Chains A and B, each alone.
Chain A
Amino acid sequence: AQKVTQAQTEISVVEKEDVTLDCVYETRDTTYYLFWYKQPPSGELVFLIRRNSFDEQNEISGRYSWNFQKSTSSFNFTITASQVVDSAVYFCALSEPNTGNQFYFGTGTSLTVIP
């Protein structure tokens, strides 16, 4: 079974629009960590955020914000006022204590911001 689901395969928005990328996860552990990574066309995965299962506070970093809701097992990512440089593939990932330091990646959402 897929532990991390990113149902949106591809999204296109016009520059300056807001966009939300969905991430739904599945785990039986009470302690776990969630991550978001950005992969621009150059290929390198860039770490964006880590959230532990005990911290449900939403986080904002500039134009980026994250909404963590344990009740729905979701960890959604919103980009406000999107820019062309935001075009990339975004991966959500889960790590659990009983699997060591392995990341379970979602299938990724490809975001295209049109100028």
Chain B
Amino acid sequence: DTEVTQTPKHLVMGMTNKKSLKCEQHMGHRAMYWYKQKAKKPPELMFVYSYEKLSINESVPSRFSPECPNSSLLNLHLHALQPEDSALYLCASSQDGTSVYNEQFFGPGTRLTVL
């Protein structure tokens, strides 16, 4: 199984809502990532979990809260988002978070719209 799955595929939420994005992989990878991608732009790294510990937080606003319940799951909790947070949110995984040569495998993304 070489797949990273993400749910939901689409999400529309108001600025006062609380929602969560979910990501799952069963490749035995020990590093997982959240990226944000705006239209016609490259993905921007938000968070990296390595061996279930947060290793990189790219100065992301606190209205985004990541969680890694186990090595296969990664969540992104959303609260009090702004319309400018509307984007494609991509999850990725790689074999581990310390080796620079590991390719990252990406999920299909969640397209988020904040009204």
Contact of B101 among A50, A91, A100, A110 (CB under 8 A): A50
Alpha-carbon gap, A44 to B50, bound state (A): 22
Contact: B100 with A33, CB < 8 Å? yes
Alpha-carbon gap, A102 to B98, bound state (A): 10
A76 CB-CB contact with B under 8 Å: no
Residue on B with the closest CB to A33?
B101
Residues of A59-100 whose CB lies within 8 A of B: 91, 95-97, 100
A interface footprint on B101-115 (CB within 8 Å = 1, 0 otherwise): 111111111010000
Alpha-carbon gap, A55 to B92, bound state (A): 26
Alpha-carbon gap, A105 to B45, bound state (A): 10
Alpha-carbon gap, A46 to B92, bound state (A): 11
Contact: A101 with B98, CB < 8 Å? yes
Contact of A101 among B88, B97, B108 (CB under 8 A): B97
B23 CB-CB contact with A under 8 Å: no
B28 CB-CB contact with A under 8 Å: no
B81 CB-CB contact with A under 8 Å: no
Residue on A with the closest CB to B90?
A45
A57 CB-CB contact with B under 8 Å: no
Contact: B108 with A42, CB < 8 Å? yes
Residues of A33-66 whose CB lies within 8 A of B: 33, 35, 37, 42-47, 50, 52
* Closest CB in chain B relative to A23 CB, distance in Å: 12
Contact: B108 with A100, CB < 8 Å? no
B82 CB-CB contact with A under 8 Å: no
Please, which residues of chain A bring their CB within 8 A of the CB of B90? Answer: 43, 45
Query: Of B42, B90, B103, B107, which is in contact with the most chain A CB atoms at under 10 Å from its CB?
Result: B42
